[in-house]
A = this chain, B = another copy of it.
Amino acid sequence: MFATSLGEDGAELRPLEPWRAEEFLAHIERGREFIGRYVALPDFVTDLDSSRAYLRSYAEKAMNDTGRIYGIWTDGKLVGGVLFRTMDLQQGTAEAGCWLEPSAAGKGLVTRAARAIIDWAFEERGLHRVEWQVSAANEPSIAVARRLGMTKDGVLRSSYLYRGRRHDMEVWSVLAPEWSAAR
């Protein structure tokens, strides 16, 4: 029922609710290898039950106002998404993230979607800081952080163990005054 346009190419952002578990799983299947290079999402979504459980965990965050998840659709197909892994209204902070199946890469979809939800976080919800954590090896995601006008706060050395390898995690952030100044 609800969709926000992400631009003239017809891309749309929509809430990603638990009843879309089947559609979400099919999308993850298409992107499993590509998405899974730096992000554990595909490891959590391996069948219909785990797909529903994952989306339910975000519905629970929405209920508690501690997180959100949104899907990106192009030509009626779910191809990726953005999320607030955490939101802390008391503290005024949130951590954003994203993923994309390979067929949808290269069109700036994630940047546009992230812009939309950060707008919402700063302007409608009054947050002060949005963070972006990313493996130092994940260049496309770092490029998004840059395009969003974020600043690199530091590198959490060896902080993320993923598929047997330790990753340095970069922390990027943008503050509310920076965001509104850049518009």
Kindly provide the distance from the CB of A26 to the nearest chain B CB, expressed in whole angstroms.
17
Kindly provide the distance from the CB of A91 to the nearest chain B CB, expressed in whole angstroms.
5
Residue A9 CB within 8 A of the other chain: no
Interface centre among A4, A151, A159 (most CB of B within 10 A): A159
Within 8 A of B (CB), among A142-168: 151-161, 166
- State the number of copies, please: 6
Whether the pair B153, A173 counts as a contact (CB closer than 8 A) is no
Whether the pair A158, B19 counts as a contact (CB closer than 8 A) is no
Residue A100 CB within 8 A of the other chain: no
Q: How far is the CA of A17 from the CA of B2 in the complex (A)?
A: 14
- Select the stretch in A56-64, A71-79, A102-110 that faces chain B: A56-64
Whether the pair B151, A154 counts as a contact (CB closer than 8 A) is no
Residue A41 CB within 8 A of the other chain: no
Residue A129 CB within 8 A of the other chain: yes
Q: Number of A residues whose C-beta is below 8 Å from B?
A: 46
Contact of A91 among B18, B89, B160 (CB under 8 A): B160
CB within 8 Å for A93 and B159 given contacts A2-B3, A19-B125, A62-B17: yes
Given contacts A18-B64, A18-B65, A62-B62, 16 further A-B contacts (CB under 8 A): A1-B13, A1-B124, A15-B15, A17-B62, A18-B63, A19-B65, A60-B63, A93-B159, A131-B156, A153-B154, A154-B155, A154-B156, A154-B171, A156-B171, A157-B173, A157-B175
9 contacts between A and B (CB under 8 A): A1-B117, A15-B15, A18-B64, A59-B63, A60-B63, A92-B161, A153-B155, A154-B154, A156-B173
